[in-house]
Amino acid sequence: MEPAQEISWFSTGIVLNQEDEQDITSKKLLPSDSDFDTVDDWDFDVENETKNHLYVTPESLIHNKKSRTSSISSLNILKDFGNGFRKLKGQKITIQTSEIECANNGKLSTDSILRLGGQNFIQSFESSVDHPFVSSLLSISEEDSRSVELVECLLFCAEKVWQKQYDRAINLLNECDKFSSKTGNPVQRLVYYFSRALRERVDKEIGKNSTKGLEIYGMQDLENALRSINQCTIAVQDMPLCQVIKFVGIQAIVENVRNSKKIHIIDLEIKMGVQWTILIQALVTHQQESQSPFEYLKITAIGNTQSRTKLEETGKRLMSFAESLNLLFYFKSVIIEDIMDLKKNDLDIDPEETIAVYAQHFLANMIMQQEKLDFLMGFIKGINQRIMVIAEVEANHNSPVFVNRFIEALFYHGAFFDLFEDCMKNNESNRTTMESEFMWQGIRNIVAAEGEERTIRHVTIELWREYFKRFGMEEMKLSNSSSYQAKMLLEKFSTRNSFTLEMNGNFLVIGWKETPLNTLSAWKFRKRSISHGACFFTL
């Protein structure tokens, strides 16, 4: 599969005939035939839309639209997805499962319902479509059938928003409102938040106050929303995904620094710092077993004035924990308002220290600000670190084409809503908080915002690889111990049957029912690397 390809999920230039319109409107959820006249030419460039670009300007999009062709049918791409086009494709890591499959009482997964909804959407334009899920339509439950229709209604709504047919979009949104709910099944909850984001987008376009979008949880920005979540509880008790990222990331660091006398960790966004309790325990155990000389562990956390108090609290907790294990530990917070203000002197680096850098879900936040991301990577290269561990979202939420971005986000968040349903069934409060704060803010930003307001711009493994090459970075192979650590962690949970692990090159990809969600990778800088200009890469 070609890297960073943009895919169109909807047909281009197809006109609905009267029979098609009658077929669609016979469905219970969908309004009158006046809402489905034609499908305009959506002008997708499925091959070159964002290749080698982490950030695409609106001007470049306008230029590309003039020269686009529809040489690849989006119908075929939808069929490819049904066959696992966007599923995990690398070397699988086998997770031991129980003989009793967790089949959710015969219910379809959220992913399967989304694909069936997409199939129905396509079939409304072309009656003879060969798709791997066609036969299953005859045997699904009444609840799943209603969920499929709800997804189809949402897709038609996204189409009308893209075509700027706002009156029809509002009619469809009203239908979504009737059958979706923030307390329903995963599909109903997913459609609830996506339809709210679509309504907010429509309200912005027509100059109306976005009352429906605002009334959910107010105008909290993403950072404030995240602070309201008990991240420690979610990560440690409820979220196997978070545990894999933390334990495997720390395992990679330990293997590269454990024989050093002085260890210096630079955490670009420390949050609660739970991961460093794992490192502290591992270093104490290694010191006891090997009797190797060890002087201290130092952690430097980067933050701004808004996070100052949280950093201080995290530092105190880690200091107390290290003291309880008789490990000499130093903690320092570096407060800067702009990453480009970061200076090497701020880090108090001892020449004898072995340095490791940790970036969990941080770099993607800077995609819109290429000069700052470039500065940061050059800065890290200059401090002579031994290893850099990076965890990021594995999805393309950076397409300049709204409908492509919408579909990517729908399937990605759909996997999470399905995951939450299974992993948090005994913690309804945490699940509701995760969906209503964290997931909602992400959906809202991806769907309703454009330009500089659209700050969530995740990209895929292939684009990160190309970008890191600019700075002479090389992927480090994660050890067998790291893979074993991930495997053993997931096998402890009752939902282990649904988690998937694979190696994509040296990236560890963690997925839910084979939908990729997150990646973890380790990097080092070549001592002699090519100049930036020799490998130009535009964000």
- Per-residue pLDDT tens over the stretch 338-389: 999 999 999 999 999 999 999 999 999 999 999 999 999 999 999 999 999 9
Furthest-apart CA atoms within the chain: distance in Å:
81
The angle at the Cα of 234, spanning 229 to 240, to the nearest 5 degrees, equals: 150
Q: How confident is the model at residue 219 (pLDDT cuts 50, 70, 90)?
A: very low
Domain assignment of residue 231, yes or no: no
CB 476 within 8 A of CB 64: no
What is the percent of the chain with per-residue pLDDT over 90, rounded to a whole number?
A: 56
| 291 and 337 both lie in a single domain | yes
| 331 and 473 both lie in a single domain | yes
| 370 and 509 both lie in a single domain | yes
Q: How confident is the model at residue 443 (pLDDT cuts 50, 70, 90)?
A: very high
Half-sphere exposure for 214 (CA within 13 Å, toward CB): 7
State how many domains the chain has: 2
Per-residue pLDDT for 20 more than 90?
Answer: no
Contacts of 193 (CB under 8 A, 6+ apart): 182, 413, 435, 439, 440, 443, 444
| Cα gap 266→144, rounded to integer Å | 47
Alpha helices in 142-267 (DSSP H): 142-162, 166-179, 186-205, 211-214, 222-227, 231-233, 240-257
Per-residue pLDDT for 268 more than 60?
Answer: yes
Q: How confident is the model at residue 99 (pLDDT cuts 50, 70, 90)?
A: very low
| 377 and 344 both lie in a single domain | yes
Most confident of 96-100, 225-229, 344-348: 344-348
pLDDT-wise least confident of 166-175, 176-185, 286-295: 286-295
In terms of Cβ atoms closer than 10 Å to its own Cβ (0-12, 13-18, 19+), residue 211 is: exposed
pLDDT-wise least confident of 56-60, 129-133, 145-149: 56-60
The residue among 408, 398, 409, 509 whose CA lies nearest residue 7 is: 408
| 414 and 474 both lie in a single domain | no
Among all chains, which residue has been given the structure tokens 């020269």?
A: 67
Mean pLDDT of the 418-435 span: 85
| 332 and 386 both lie in a single domain | yes
| 432 and 465 both lie in a single domain | no
Q: How confident is the model at residue 290 (pLDDT cuts 50, 70, 90)?
A: confident
Per-residue pLDDT for 502 more than 70?
Answer: yes
Mean pLDDT of the 249-255 span: 96
CB 297 within 8 A of CB 265: yes
Domain assignment of residue 95, yes or no: no
Amino acid identity for residue 312 in this structure: E
Domain assignment of residue 389, yes or no: yes
Domain assignment of residue 16, yes or no: no
Mean pLDDT of the 257-279 span: 94
| 112 and 144 both lie in a single domain | yes
| Cα gap 521→249, rounded to integer Å | 8
Per-residue pLDDT for 260 more than 80?
Answer: yes
| 412 and 468 both lie in a single domain | no
| Cα gap 467→462, rounded to integer Å | 9
| Cα gap 310→289, rounded to integer Å | 34
| Cα gap 279→275, rounded to integer Å | 7
From 453, 474, 496, give the residue that closes a domain. Answer: 453
The pLDDT score that the predictor gives to residue 493 is: 86
The residue among 292, 293, 291, 296 whose CA lies nearest residue 280 is: 296
- pLDDT, the chain, mean: 78
Half-sphere exposure for 60 (CA within 13 Å, toward CB): 16
Structure tokens at 471: 């700075």
The pLDDT score that the predictor gives to residue 401 is: 87
| Cα gap 73→70, rounded to integer Å | 7
Domain assignment of residue 462, yes or no: yes
First to last CA, the chain: 21
Mean pLDDT of the 76-90 span: 51
Mean pLDDT of the 261-274 span: 94
Q: How confident is the model at residue 430 (pLDDT cuts 50, 70, 90)?
A: confident
The pLDDT score that the predictor gives to residue 127 is: 55
The pLDDT score that the predictor gives to residue 124 is: 76
Per-residue pLDDT for 210 more than 50?
Answer: yes
Domain assignment of residue 505, yes or no: yes
| 76 and 162 both lie in a single domain | yes
pLDDT-wise least confident of 225-239, 278-292, 401-415, 500-514: 225-239
Domain assignment of residue 474, yes or no: yes
CB 9 within 8 A of CB 142: no
The residue among 263, 277, 234, 289 whose CA lies nearest residue 416 is: 234
pLDDT-wise least confident of 95-99, 171-175, 313-317, 495-499: 95-99
Mean pLDDT of the 63-79 span: 37
What is the percent of the chain with per-residue pLDDT over 70, rounded to a whole number?
A: 70
Q: How confident is the model at residue 91 (pLDDT cuts 50, 70, 90)?
A: low
The residue among 432, 539, 384, 485 whose CA lies nearest residue 54 is: 539
Per-residue pLDDT for 314 more than 70?
Answer: yes
CATH number at residue 250: 3.40.50.150
pTM of the predicted structure, to 2 decimals:
0.81
DSSP output for 101-149? ---GGGPPPHHHHHHHHHHHHHHTT-S----TTTGGGGT--HHHHHHHH
**Other CB atoms closer than 10 Å to residue 363's CB: what's the count?**
21
CB 419 within 8 A of CB 500: no
Per-residue pLDDT for 108 more than 50?
Answer: yes
Q: How confident is the model at residue 24 (pLDDT cuts 50, 70, 90)?
A: very low
Mean pLDDT of the 459-473 span: 94
Q: How confident is the model at residue 86 (pLDDT cuts 50, 70, 90)?
A: low
Domain residue limits at 437: 69-81+108-121+138-208+400-453
Domain assignment of residue 341, yes or no: yes
